[in-house]
Structure 1
Amino acid sequence: MNIDNLEKNVRRSIYFVSLASVVAPTFYIIWFWFVNNRAMSKDTEAWGQLGDFVGGIVNPLIAFSAFYWLATSVLLQKTELAETRKSLEESKNVQEEQAKTVLISTKLQYLNIQLEAINSQISAERSYINQLIQQGQIHGTEYTVVTRSGVNMTINKVLKEVNDQITTHSEERDRLINQVKTIAPNLG
């Protein structure tokens, strides 16, 4: 229902009821004064009858107009309520999608931080291996070094432990990458 048309129809109804309220008594007066040549009565009973006549014509028009606009108002509210429900449902769906996207983004950021930490650990372990290899080339593989934990070990044993740690970190990195692929399959 168009709002502009609705406003025009309301104005028309008001004009019609107002016109009927004026025309009915005017015709009544014309009928008695000019057609029947009657003078204005001083009898209050006659004026009461005139009021009943005017009320009998105008009151049903007003009541019909009021009922019509009440029904129109209910239909308009029903339409607007349906549109509001539809908009709210669409808004709810959009918000749910946004929440899912934010959740996925947060999970991916968390996994990315973990991947960066693991890659840093792997890089540090590889640098440590390179230092051990350089010392092994200079002093031999049975040369004893002090490890990062403060224990004396031969370079061969330290290299084996560091390689085991790199393998563990690499497996953890692969597990995290699989989680990323599971969370966001279109990224990889």
Structure 2
Amino acid sequence: MILVENNNKSFVILYVAIGFVIGGILSIPIATWFYFSPAPTFEINGQIGDFFGGILNPIVALMALVWLVKGVKLQQKELEETKFALQASEKHQAAQVRISAITALISSLNDEQHKLRDYRKTVQIAVDDIVKQHDEQARQLPPGSTLCMDVWEVSRMEELQALNSAIEKYEEQKTAYLAELRTILEG
């Protein structure tokens, strides 16, 4: 933006300099005209007006055209810079949305893992009680006899194994999401 402002200042200085040069060049014939000519009449005044109009109109029109072209080029440049800024903003916004989604998934996985761990503690306590009871009953049996666990006891132990594998699965998913999050943040 500073470059554009400096460029506009130099452009204005150029216009002022051209105006002084043209004014100086025109002042010589005008001064000569008034000094050596007889008293001006309406006819002579009209000729002087035509002279100024014929000389200054194309110069002013040319300066206006140059100024218009410069303005259009400046607007094109600013429009392109705005387009690049919007594209960069769009990329960052898309990355931010993805980061938010991954963060929400990780938070959800953490909540589920916490619930599963709490439930696993409950099941673990029940399984530990079952194992203790089973060991006590096995000690009371005569040597050489066997003790079978009932279906409920076995299902609780399988449930504990399933909980452990589910917790591990959530941990793997969380690790994958964290790796993706690191990739987004580094890129």
Normalised by the length of structure 1, the TM-score is 0.76
Q: CA deviation at 1:45?
A: 2.3
SS at the partner of 2:70?
helix
Q: Distance in 2 between the 1:186 and 1:22 partners?
A: 72
Counterpart of 1:3 (choices 2, 5, 9) is: 5
Distance between the aligned counterparts of 1:6 and 1:95, measured in 2?
35
Whether contact under 8 Å (1:21, 1:54) holds in the other structure is: no
Identity %: 21
Alignment check: 8 A CA contact 1:118 1:173 kept: yes
Separation in 2, partners of 1:128, 1:118: 15
Opposite residue 4 of structure 1, the aligned amino acid is N
Identify unmatched segments of 5+ residues in structure 1: 142-154
Residue 140 (structure 2) pairs with residue 175 (structure 1):
no
Evaluate the alpha carbon distance shift between residue 63 and residue 52 of structure 1 in structure 2; reply closer, same or farther with a 3 A threshold.
same
Note the residue ranges of structure 2 that are not aligned, 5 or more in a row.
139-147, 182-187
Alignment length (residue pairs): 169
Question: Aligned in 2, Cα 1:186/1:57: closer, same or farther, shift over 3 Å?
Answer: closer
Matches within 5 A, 1:37-186: 37-41=36-40, 43-135=41-133, 140=137, 156-157=149-150, 158-185=152-179
| Matching of residues 17-36 of structure 1 within 5 Å | 17=19, 20-21=22-23, 24=26, 26-34=27-35
Q: Deviations over 1:168-187 (max 9, x none)?
A: 22232233233324434468
Do the aligned partners of residues 40 and 128 (structure 1) sit closer, same or farther apart at CA in structure 2, a change above 3 Å counting? farther
Secondary structure of 2:43 counterpart: helix
**1 CA distance for matches of 2:16 and 2:58?**
14
Q: Which residue in 2 is equivalent to 1:146?
A: none
Q: Tell me the C-alpha RMSD between the 2 structures.
A: 2.6
- Cα distance change of structure 1 residues 10 and 129 upon mapping to structure 2, 3 Å threshold: same
Moved more, 168-177 or 10-19: 10-19
Amino acid at match of 1:63: A
Higher helix share: 2
Query: What residue in structure 1 maps to residue 14 of structure 2?
Result: 12
Contact 1:118/1:169, CA 8 A, preserved across alignment: yes
User: Structure with the greater relative contact order (CA < 8 A, sep ≥ 6): 1 or 2?
Assistant: 2
- SS of the equivalent of 1:175 reads helix
